[in-house]
Amino acid sequence: MDIQLEVPAPFPIPEEVDWDTPEWIELRRKLMHFWGSLSTLEWFEARGYTLYKRLPDSIYTGEPSEYSVPTKPSLPCVEGEYPYAYHDNYLAFETPDTERLAEDMSASVVFAQNAQGHHVAIKLVAEGSDEHRINELVKQESANFSEEDDGPGILPVLEILHTKGYCFVVMPSGSVIIPKGSRIGEFRLPYAMSQWGRYGCLPNDTAQGEYDYDPFAYDVGMMGPPV
């Protein structure tokens, strides 16, 4: 018998509910506990996904936080193999307990490792919503994407898992798909994406009100001065 997960309601968050209200804070707390519950972990494990381990908010409360780390050991370096991104454990020498640290303030996204060890992101979506229908279309088109022809520059949907009233959209973690034919110096990304996957000191290139930035120049700048 297939077990159906009970997702805390209401989800998605009603538009009239502000993020700072007690309603939102309580729902976020319930979602955090939902993701970390044994039934949820076993449900995803049975489908080939090991959810990241949720870190506690503090040693005093024991409440789950928005931060999580891989449950299974991750290889020090993994080359990019479409549709999965290259990654390394660049924090291991500094903070081994938080290498590949993931964060989600909304509590609607979690991170996991699949049976092959690839890192994925899993998003909670209401069944039958516009977002669900769009992701179903992307999933159908994703079958036609390849490393040589990566489609219209959108992140592929690997799988959609279903439970009562909701679904879970599985996508590669850490991938930015750049449209084919993009030219270095002309391609731009939203400024907020400059913070993704970064740790420690950041250049000030996107701290002055810019709407977008050149990811190629920014990433080369992050390598530091030549020695």
Residue 211's domain comprises: 182-227
Distance CA 57, CA 214 (A): 35
| 34 domain residue, yes or no | yes
> pLDDT per residue over 104-115, tens digit each?
877 889 999 999
Does the pLDDT at position 99 exceed 60?
no
Residue type, 175: S
Domain count of the fold of the chain: 2
Q: How many residues does the chain have?
A: 227
CATH code, 116: 3.30.200.20
164 & 198 share domain: no
159 & 208 share domain: no
> pLDDT per residue over 122-179, tens digit each?
999 999 999 999 999 999 887 777 666 555 567 889 999 999 899 999 999 877 666 6
The arithmetic mean of pLDDT across residues 74-93, rounded, is 67
